[in-house]
Amino acid sequence: MTCHLLIPAAGSGKRMGADCNKLLLPLLGKPILQWTLEAAIASEAIAWIGVMGQPHDYPEFQKIFNEISQLKPIRLIQGGATRQASVFNGLKALPIDCDHVLIHDGARCLVTPELFDRCDVALQKMQGFIAAVPVKDTIKVVDGLTIVDTPNRDHLWAAQTPQGFQLDVIKNAHLTALELGWEVTDDAALLEKVGLAVQIVMGEETNLKVTTPQDLAIAEFILNQRN
């Protein structure tokens, strides 16, 4: 157990349309964030967990931490205005002995401990990687309502988290992004923009991100299948 994990959990869940952070919404009786944390705690690889949140959510987050096993240290870190800013805050708060990091969205609450463990193995070998799955749909590139391209699906993968990085590499990429005003939706994109290779680790079809009310219903269905 050596791996450090950062969990961005400081969003507001606009697309969910709830009146609170969507990670506090119940999924089969437990907050979404609790499912994510329980998978991280069950992973053999993860030794330390940092959760980025907004201060107004701290009391609810603390209740969740109290509900789950305290076998691993969980540190609360102040989130930022965007996912990117929240991750950057997390990177700056990592313990001094950390040289590699996994980053996993709190909203991907169906992640399995086995996926975390597979990612930890990748972390030992790669400077940067993401969990991803091959795209099943035929994807169209559209301008207005007109199709301009149908990319070859063999080259299309859907990005997930965990994403894992050598710490100095991802920190430098975030610093460059700050200097140059880059805004991206995942951490791998920053490495891509500075011209560094990012590998793929096979993700999980069920590792969906709970973004809309429909996702919540699908997540409930998948969890019921697991029980």
Ligand X SMILES: Nc1ccn([C@@H]2O[C@H](COP(=O)(O)OP(=O)(O)OP(=O)(O)O)[C@@H](O)[C@H]2O)c(=O)n1
Classify the phi-psi angles of 181: left when phi > 0, otherwise alpha if psi is within -120 to 50, otherwise beta.
left
Binding-site string for ligand X from residue 25 to residue 64, where x marks contact by CB under 6 A and - marks none: ---------------------------x------------
For residue 189, give Cα distances in angstroms to 58, 99, 159.
Answer: 29, 20, 10
Using Cβ positions, the residue closest to ligand X within the complex turns out to be: 11
- Helix residue ranges per DSSP H, the chain: 32-42, 58-67, 83-92, 113-125, 167-180, 188-193, 213-226
Give min distance, CB of 206 to ligand X, in A.
17
- Considering only 3, 5, 6, 10, the residue that binds ligand X (CB under 6 A) is 10
Which stretch in 73-81, 138-146, 154-162, 214-222 sits in contact with ligand LQXTBERG by CB under 6 A?
154-162
12 binds, among ligand X, ligand LQXTBERG, none (CB under 5 to 8 A by kind): ligand X
Q: Give how many residues touch ligand X by CB under 6 A.
A: 22
What's the rounded Cα separation, in Å, for the pair 223 and 206?
10
Which stretch in 12-20, 118-126, 176-184, 193-201 sits in contact with ligand X by CB under 6 A?
12-20
By CB under 6 A, tell whether 205 contacts ligand LQXTBERG: no
125 binds, among ligand X, ligand LQXTBERG, none (CB under 5 to 8 A by kind): none
162 binds, among ligand LQXTBERG, ligand X, none (CB under 5 to 8 A by kind): none
> Which DSSP symbol is given to 138?
P
The CB-side HSE value for 78 (13 A sphere, CA atoms) comes to 4
Asked if 208 and 108 count as a contact pair (C-beta separation under 8 A), the reply is yes
86 binds, among ligand LQXTBERG, ligand X, none (CB under 5 to 8 A by kind): ligand X
Q: What crossing angle do the helices spanning 113-125 and 32-42 adopt, rounded to 10°?
A: 60
Cis peptide before 134 (omega within 30 of 0): no
By CB under 6 A, tell whether 209 contacts ligand LQXTBERG: yes
